[in-house]
């Protein structure tokens, strides 16, 4: 009677053992699969990081080459008495071209180059109103320059009160006084930073094509400035006369300011506010590499045959090429 129950319990013990072994095997397989997937993911991630770093390095070298190209172009117009005009070589933008077309001497090898496309342009920054001229050397607001900025704001559809806001903000940033030191705004170095002075984003977007922050005293170039900037820089210059001035310079650029006065004798020119030559330029380079678009802009100062880079900044880094 005792043997029969023992024979019946043995299969149950064996069944439990088989179940535990199967469960253990499944756990081990799960752990192995998890570890393998983690190793594969880490390896894939390392490859992606390496590819991104390689693309970043390649783009940095290409953008540096574009800046060197701009330097060579700007050196073509370094004569002492030559005016800076929109007919100079620097004013012609570089259309997007495959990088291999610059590197391959044999056209049959052009297809072996990297899938990178380069484009760029150079802009005369003295074709814009220099906000740094709003302050005088003694730390006060320059009334004539503030009035000029007010005219510019009115011409481009911006609230004229913005001129006073910018002038007051720059004054507070440069000489806040002991009582306002803690609340004084930072002095902007570029137009994008005008928000520090209380200017809203929409207004900054409207002002960007017409204003710039250069060293104090940099005048407006009458050979390259837009109609709106000319109307701001020259008091009592109406839209029709400004358009006439632009047509005159297209036919024959002004060699000296005296030529401008000869063409339009009624103009009242304030000394130091206008010129026919420029020394500050912005170089904008764009590289399209695989599925990324990188844009870099550099502010350069031309001193004779020397081109000094004052500021470089990356203004775009997109993972996908825009449509």
Please give the average per-residue pLDDT across 302-317, as a whole number: 82
- Residue 27 has a pLDDT of 85
Distance CA(255)–CA(265), nearest Å, equals: 16
Which of 176, 211, 182, 181 has the alpha carbon at shortest distance from 194? 211
Mean pLDDT on 280-300: 86
Look at residue 263 in the predicted model and tell me its pLDDT. Answer: 86
Q: How confident is the model at residue 156 (pLDDT cuts 50, 70, 90)?
A: very high
Rounded-to-integer distance, Cα 261 and Cα 253, Å:
13
End-to-end CA distance of the chain: 88
Q: Which residue has the tokens 């844009």?
A: 295
pLDDT digits (tens, 9 = 90+) for 269-285: 888 899 999 999 999 98
Q: Quick check: 231 and 239 in contact, CB under 8 A?
A: yes
| pLDDT over threshold 50, residue 143 | yes
- Is 85 in contact with 253 (CB distance < 8 Å)? yes
Domain ranges of the chain: 1-124+277-323, 127-275
Give me the mean pLDDT over the 18-42 stretch: 82
pLDDT number for residue 322: 41
Looking at residues 2-11, what average pLDDT do you find? 51
- Per-residue model confidence as pLDDT tens digits over 189-247: 999 999 999 999 999 999 999 999 999 999 999 999 999 999 999 988 999 999 999 99
**Percentage of the chain with pLDDT > 70?**
80
φ and ψ at 141, to 5 degrees? -75, 135
Phi, psi for residue 297 in degrees, rounded to 5 = -125, 145
Q: Where are the beta strands (DSSP E) in 69-185?
A: 94-98, 116-124, 129-130
Looking at 3.40.50.1820, 3.90.1170.40, 3.30.1300.30, 3.10.690.10, the CATH number of the domain 1-124+277-323 comes to 3.30.1300.30
């Amino acid at each position: 009677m005792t043997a029969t129950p023992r024979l019946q319990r043995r299969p149950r013990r064996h069944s439990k053992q088989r179940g535990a072994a199967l469960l253990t095997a499944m756990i081990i397989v799960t752990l192995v699969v998890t570890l393998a997937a983690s190793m594969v993911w880490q390896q894939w991630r390392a490859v992606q990081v390496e590819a991104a770093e390689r693309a970043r390095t390649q783009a940095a070298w290409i953008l540096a080459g574009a800046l060197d190209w701009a330097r060579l172009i700007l050196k073509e117009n370094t004569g002492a008495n030559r005016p800076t005009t929109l007919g100079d070589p620097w004013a012609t933008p570089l259309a997007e071209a495959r990088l291999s077309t610059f590197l391959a001497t044999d056209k049959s090898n052009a297809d072996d180059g990297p899938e990178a496309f380069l484009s760029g342009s150079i802009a005369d920054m003295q074709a814009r109103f220099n906000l740094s001229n709003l302050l005088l050397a003694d730390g006060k607001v320059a009334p004539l320059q503030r009035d000029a900025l007010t005219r510019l704001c009115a011409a481009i559809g911006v609230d004229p009160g913005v001129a006073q806001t910018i002038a007051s903000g720059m004054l507070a940033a440069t000489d806040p006084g002991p009582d306002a030191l803690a609340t004084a705004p930072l002095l902007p170095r570029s137009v994008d930073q005008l928000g520090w002075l209380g200017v809203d984003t929409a207004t900054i977007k409207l002002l960007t094509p017409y204003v710039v922050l250069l060293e104090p005293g940099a005048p407006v170039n009458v050979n390259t400035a837009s109609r709106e900037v000319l109307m701001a820089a020259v008091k009592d210059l109406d839209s029709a006369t400004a358009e006439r001035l632009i047509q005159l310079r297209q036919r024959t650029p002004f060699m000296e300011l005296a030529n401008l006065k000869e063409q339009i004798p009624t103009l009242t020119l304030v000394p130091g506010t206008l010129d026919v030559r420029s020394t500050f330029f912005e170089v904008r380079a764009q590289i399209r590499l695989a599925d990324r678009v990188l844009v870099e802009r550099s502010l350069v100062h031309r001193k004779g045959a020397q081109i000094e880079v004052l500021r470089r900044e990356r203004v775009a880094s997109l993972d996908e090429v825009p449509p």
